[in-house]
Copies of this chain bind each other. A is one copy, B any other.
Amino acid sequence: MQAEIITIGDEILIGQIVDSNSAFISKELNKIGVSVYQITSIQDDSDHILDALATAGKRSSVVIITGGLGPTKDDVTKHTLCQFFDDKLVQDDAVLEHIEELFKKYISTPISDLNRKQALVPSKATVLHNANGTAPGLWMKKGDTAYVSLPGVPFEMKYLIQDQVLPKIISEYDRPHIFHRTIMTYGMGESAIADKIENWEDNLPSFVKLAYLPNLGRVRLRLTAKGADKQSLVDAVETEIKKLYKLIGDIIYGEEEEGTIENQVGKLLVQKNMSLATAESFTGGKIAEQITAIPGASTYFKGSIVSYATEAKIELLEVPENLITEHSVVSEEVAKAMAKNVKCKLDTDFSIATTGNAGPTKGDSNADVGTVYIAISTPKRTFAQKFTMGNSRERIVQRSVNKAFELLLKEILNF
């Protein structure tokens, strides 16, 4: 049982948007045991769409198509589907009623002929109700392959996948189980890890696959098991992971399925009924933003002082001016003072502080681009560490945010 995804629209092919729709759909399909064999992004062009539909249908039982179902003229998908299925467009009254209702409720402009045209669907299609928008999803069959066409707007596509497409696949297809666990490591390169676990890797059961996923100073190790019996997959992966902890337990900081490291920080803080604040300079609020992206963060996160300018460190965080003059604004001492002061001001148990230079120029501090200090304050102590994070602004910030959460997690585990 395998699926394919076809995304239609020039915006991906000219690099205007990143194809996050396919990542979402793939993840959801994997959860119900459907492997994705290929993702194909193509232009809004009839011949190309026809070719992609035919090719995908030869290989896969379900082909999910996103994009090209909007009301405007650059959308050719629906007409091409008619051509592919030798069908014609007919008006669906339920869809028309839904469109009229949405306009009455939410949209100030009057309903137009273009909007009404969205109620035209191929006569052979099963219509999938789109509660979040005016373009319906379409489910069509050719031979043994189901073709599912969805609008490209992420908010509408996500609803249709979760509420309409997945239940239909579950009810109509037998699927094997797929089970992933992903171990997150830090501080060791891909090849050094590979050397250490070579023997273990060579002896993995045949239905368990290992993948190395390196990024931004961390390597994730993903184990994937596939088979008919879910429990035996879970058990086999568990056994292998136990062996892995014996080999490289010192560089493992968690598992991706437990959530990101900031998720783990959050869970622990809730458990321990403890709280957190941040004082950010060059990370510019990104640590706070990643914390607050988690639903429920208000239970443990009080706030952040983003003291981007040196004067903000003095005014808002009350870092003593002479400390800055003496040690420079990018220094262990200033990082520690920021962490201590924000913890005190917001009366929290833990705090993170960052100060550094993310470039492109040397700025207030005269510190080299890439030099950063990360400070952690706990109920017991305050410390700061220096890091050199390379020379790309985006990387310096993201690696520092990652590192800050790592340092904090280790401390929280001790309480």
Contact = CB atoms under 8 A, between A and B. Distances in A.
A329 to B, nearest CB: 11
Interface stretch (A78-86, A228-236, A310-318, A371-379): A310-318
Contacts of A360: 295-296
Interface stretch (A167-175, A187-195, A264-272): A187-195
Given A23-B19, A72-B190, A112-B192, A284 B308 contact: no
Contacts of A191: 71-72, 112, 114-115
B11 A213 contact: yes
B11 A30 contact: no
A124 interface: no
B306 A288 contact: yes
Interface string A287-306: 11101110111100111111
26 contacts: A15-B25, A17-B213, A18-B18, A19-B39, A37-B48, A39-B41, A70-B190, A71-B190, A71-B191, A73-B210, A74-B211, A74-B212, A153-B214, A155-B395, A278-B306, A284-B291, A285-B304, A286-B289, A302-B308, A303-B307, A303-B316, A304-B304, A304-B305, A305-B316, A315-B346, A316-B316
A309 B284 CA distance: 19
B316 A211 contact: no
Q: Contact size class for A? A: 35 or more
A148 B292 CA distance: 41
A297 B308 contact: yes
A297 B284 contact: yes
B24 A37 contact: no
Contacts of A293: 284, 393-394, 397
A311 B298 CA distance: 11
A345 B315 contact: yes
Interface string A387-415: 00000111101000000000000000000
Interface string A16-30: 111110111111111
Interface of A: 9-20, 22-30, 35-44, 48, 70-74, 107, 109, 112, 114-115, 153-155, 180, 182, 188-192, 194-195, 201, 209-215, 222, 224, 256, 278, 280, 282-289, 291-293, 295-298, 301-309, 311-312, 315-316, 345-347, 359-360, 363-364, 392-395, 397
Given A298-B308, A304-B305, 4 more contacts: A14-B30, A289-B289, A303-B309, A305-B306
Which residue, of A29, A42, A303, A393, has the highest number of chain B Cβ atoms within 10 A?
A: A303
